[in-house]
Amino acid sequence: MIAIANTHNNEYGGNATMSTSIYIPDAPIMPRSERVKSAFVETIVGRRGGLRSILTEVEAVAPTNATVLITGETGTGKEVIARAIHELSPRRSRNLIKVNCAAMPAGLLESELFGHERGAFTGAVNSHVGRFALADRGTLFLDEIGDMPLELQPKLLRVLQEREFEAVGSTRTTRVDVRVIAATNRDLRQMVRDGEFREDLYYRLNIFPVSLPPLRERKADIPEFVRYFIEQFATSMDKIIDTIPEDTMRTMVRHSWPGNIRELQNYVARAVILSNDGVFEPAPLEKFEPAPMEIANPTLEDKVRSEILAACQRANWKLGGPRGAAARLGLKRTTLFYKMKRMGIAPPEDHWQD
């Protein structure tokens, strides 16, 4: 049995939520002299393990104004690293503004980033200050940058190069001093080759790349994450859990966690709900289907099947639309649907798409 020490209260203070963040905002503020570095870094789970080399890079780039591109699978903590860069930079007393580029269509995203004037378009009854203006002298975090519409990318490139822009419906140029951090779980280099992402914008964003490893490559960090999440969720659910069975911990360390830290966090939350008598009760682990093995002598149908699977995966199993799987394959949506049905191709069971 593994006992959970009470000392984690001091290290990880704060209330639990279902947020994917592993940053603890209530950590004590350190004196600026010689402790700026530790003030935020000491609040990051895994800082002494798999993230050690990453945090060394973060500490090197944070004091500069260089644009940073953070890459990694979904759930690996890209936003945490973005906040670490901001908190360790001279801009830490200014705003860190976040924008999810995948959360809205091109028209709304342009207005959200650059603002708009009253009457600029139907429904614009008031003027709106964009995120670039709000982040002036601070940091702008562009999450899911790989999902930014192609038609909006030139305007972003101009802001990065010239530090100026015009709000939608305005002829007045606004100059800003903004440090940009971008993040994506997509392969931007492949998107550039496919004509889905501007090459000049890619190189402008990729001045200082930071690549986050998946949790399956950070197995030594899993026990620390588990203890941290147990304590957070037990507190929020008014439970006391002071013991983790060794077999349970061993099973969690061996699991591949395709959803990374976010999946582990949700798993621990479910398990805490089921736990009683102070013992961490494991919840059922979801099985992850590995990618099919490459066929030595593929038939024509095997090749077609592989192409359809690859296109669907890259389109996040969206069939229609200009960036959907059908468009990538040069097929009608109905034709692709028929082929998928005939070949038994379907999204994975745990796939969810809004």
- Own/partner long-range contacts of 103-112 (Cβ < 8 Å, ≥24 apart): 103/144, 105/149, 106/149, 106/151, 106/152, 109/148, 109/149, 109/152, 110/152, 110/155, 110/168, 111/168
Burial level of 135, CB count in 10 A (0-12/13-18/19+)?
buried
Percentages of the chain per state (helix, strand, coil), in multiples of 5: 45, 10, 45
Most confident stretch, 167-176, 266-275, 289-298, 340-349? 266-275
Q: Which of 98, 88, 78, 92 is nearest to 209 (CA)?
A: 78
> What percentage of the chain exceeds 90 in pLDDT?
49
The amino acid at residue 349 is E
> What percentage of the chain exceeds 70 in pLDDT?
80
- Nearest-angstrom CA–CA distance, 324 and 182: 23
pTM for the predicted model, two decimal places: 0.70
Lowest-confidence range among 28-37, 177-186, 273-282? 28-37
Most confident stretch, 29-33, 40-44, 75-79, 104-108? 75-79
Tell me what the mean pLDDT of segment 303-312 comes to: 83
Would you say 315 and 190 are in contact if contact means Cβ atoms under 8 Å apart?
A: no
DSSP 104: S
For helices 222-236 and 246-254, give the axis angle rounded to 10 degrees.
120
In sequence order, the 6+-apart residues with CB closer than 8 A to the CB of 173 are 164, 165, 166
Tell me what the mean pLDDT of segment 53-64 comes to: 92
Most confident stretch, 109-118, 199-208, 316-325, 343-352? 199-208
